Structure 1
Amino acid sequence: MKLLCDEMLKGLARWLRTAGHDVAMEPDGTADRRLIERAMAEERLLLTRDRSLLEIRGAQKVVLLLASNDLESSVRELTGRLGIDWLHQPFSRCSLCNTPLVAVERPADLPSDIVRAWFCTTCGKYYWRGGHVDRMRHRLQRWQGMPGGES
């Protein structure tokens, strides 16, 4: 499932990417009609809290209006409504730009205790396993076990 998040849901989009989902985002201030057009053109489901998007012709086909206002409630709502798999392919996409990551040998400029790294070929960011990854994985696992349903 391919998703598109509007600017209100940047944090949720990053967590969905962390879980391995293909989630696009438009820059802040993107016109509502442009969001709908992109969702249609790329066959993405647009996640939003903006009710006015539903007034645009054809939006009902591509918009999922979330009632939740915070991250945890949004996670619960998405899990219930879409059956989101929070352990889909963890840490396989760049959280900043959505590009699939590639495994690389440790670059010389990273600390020597890092054995393996992953690289985003689009934005040039390196990722590696550290304590933060364990904490993030724990959160994804908790969300995976969370009962679904709308908040």
Structure 2
Amino acid sequence: MKRIWIDAGRCDGCLNCTLACMNAHRADKGSIYDLDLTDPSNESRNFIYRQADGSYRPVFCRHCDEPECVNSCMSGALSKNPATGIVEYDESRCAACFMCVMNCPFGVLKPKDTSKSRIIKCDFCKDSGGEPSCVKACPKEAIWVEEVQP
């Protein structure tokens, strides 16, 4: 199983990972240079927070071994793929109860800004066929993918 790993000490807050995520999940699949940052439908699935001491704290979905989001999902919209280890989201089954948002210990999941009736979460860039966009975009190599044993 693959996991995203983070070295917060390397993060300089450039937000390349956030922009790459937004671009990878937008409907028109254009260039990053014409990404409309004011369009609420262009949402990132990761966050970079600036700490009081000036350092940065990247927050990404951990696709946990025992995901609290999956355990608290009453509708079955969230499930852990046993083969890949990725926590998958089926929007059509979501009841918009947001129990997953409340139970994520990392605070990654959030209601989708445009509808407030669905959630938004990392899908490991499943349509890219390779590494997640955030990993490819990080110039400091603060984010990487590593194979782990279950």
Sort the TM-score into its range (normalised by shorter chain): under 0.3
Between Structure 1 and Structure 2, the one with more helix by share is 1
Bigger Rg, which one: 1
After TM superposition, the score normalised by the length of structure 2 is: 0.28
